[in-house]
Amino acid sequence: MEVDKLIQLLKSHKSLNTSVRLGILLGLYYVKSAWFAQLLESTRLNKAELYQHLRVLEKEGYIKLEYIPTVRGKRLRASITQKGEEVAKEVLKLLNE
Amino acid sequence: MKDEAEIKKSLEMARRLFYIKEIDLVRWLLDVYGVFALAIFISTYLLSLFLPRLEVLGIGLLVVSTIDVIETISGLSSPKFADFRKLDPKSISLTIKISIFGLIISYFLFIFHYFFYPLLYLQFILTGVFIELSFSYPIYHMLRKLNEKDHFLIASYVIMGVCVALTPFNYISLLAIPTVTLLYEILRKGEP
């Protein structure tokens, strides 16, 4: 694991400079898309905090948020964008994952 | 981001999301399987009270429901059959696809059994499937709290196996469960 290089890389992507946002991005890289409830469980944050983090990632173009109608009402789904995939790939390369 | 510990925390979070999504998918598959099996049992039973040609009717019901199950499940493996949950087939791991395959095999074995011995043990088989479905829920919730996600799958398959074993089902079906479990264990090592 090349930690120094990785920290440098994350400094150039300021919105990813927190463990939670990086975790969300890497998770979405693996699964491509996830429901809000699934992200809530994996991050163990409260709803408001998670929503804020997702909005930041969306604003930077790493993820896409959309409301999907389901049998239980509208649900928020996050999916990774092309830009997000490229960054995640770079991060994982430095992590040797 | 300051140090390696924070990076590890991010990786742990990403892995957790992967496992959660995978388990949700398995639970949904068991739901589809169990609910359809129960629906067939109830429909066949109720209609048998009024109609004499039950064999033909029962087989007809099985064919219709099988088409329905296959259509729903195929949404997981092919983009051509995208279902209402909008699952991305590319994001589904090989382990889940093997599970789907295992369920389809056992479903067809169940149908063949029915075809050769109409209604003989149908009630027991479907009760077994339903018990498996019922048991998987508390285990799912219990283990999820403990964060022992792998064990859920194993427990689910073991219960399924026990239920199948307790019912006078075809012996071949017994091989499907441990095989799927073993493959799951092997393949899990290659997952992120």
pLDDT for residue B175 is more than 50 = no
pLDDT for position A36 = 92
pLDDT for position B163 = 56
Within the 99-158 window of chain B, which residues sit less than 8 Å (CB to CB) from chain A? none
Of residues A52 and B170, more confidently modeled? A52
Which residue, among B2, B21, B95, would best test binding to A if mutated, counting the most A CBs under 10 Å from its CB?
A: B21
Share the mean pLDDT of chain B: 57
Q: Is B97 on the interface with A (CB under 8 A)?
A: no
Q: Binning pLDDT at 50, 70 and 90, where does residue B90 land?
A: low
- Whether A95 sits inside 8 A of B91 (CB atoms) is no
pLDDT in tens, B15-65: 888 877 776 766 666 556 555 655 655 565 566 566 555 555 555 555 555
Topology annotation, domain A3-95: Arc Repressor Mutant, subunit A (1.10.10)
What is the least distance, in Å, from the CA of A44 to any CA of chain B?
Answer: 9
* Cα atoms in the Cβ-side hemisphere of radius 13 Å centred on B149: 17
What is the least distance, in Å, from the CA of A58 to any CA of chain B?
Answer: 18
Q: Is A26 on the interface with B (CB under 8 A)?
A: yes
Residues in chain A, overall count:
97
pLDDT for position B192 = 43
Q: Which long-range contacts (CB under 8 A, 24 or more apart) does B66-72 make?
A: B66/B107, B66/B108, B66/B111, B68/B36, B69/B32, B69/B33, B69/B36, B69/B107, B70/B104, B72/B32
Q: Is A80 on the interface with B (CB under 8 A)?
A: no
Q: Binning pLDDT at 50, 70 and 90, where does residue B83 land?
A: very low
The pLDDT of B12-16, averaged and rounded, is 86
What is the least distance, in Å, from the CA of B158 to any CA of chain A?
Answer: 26
Residue extents of the structural domains in chain B:
19-188
Of residues B178 and A97, more confidently modeled? A97
Of residues B134 and A33, more confidently modeled? A33
Model ipTM?
0.88
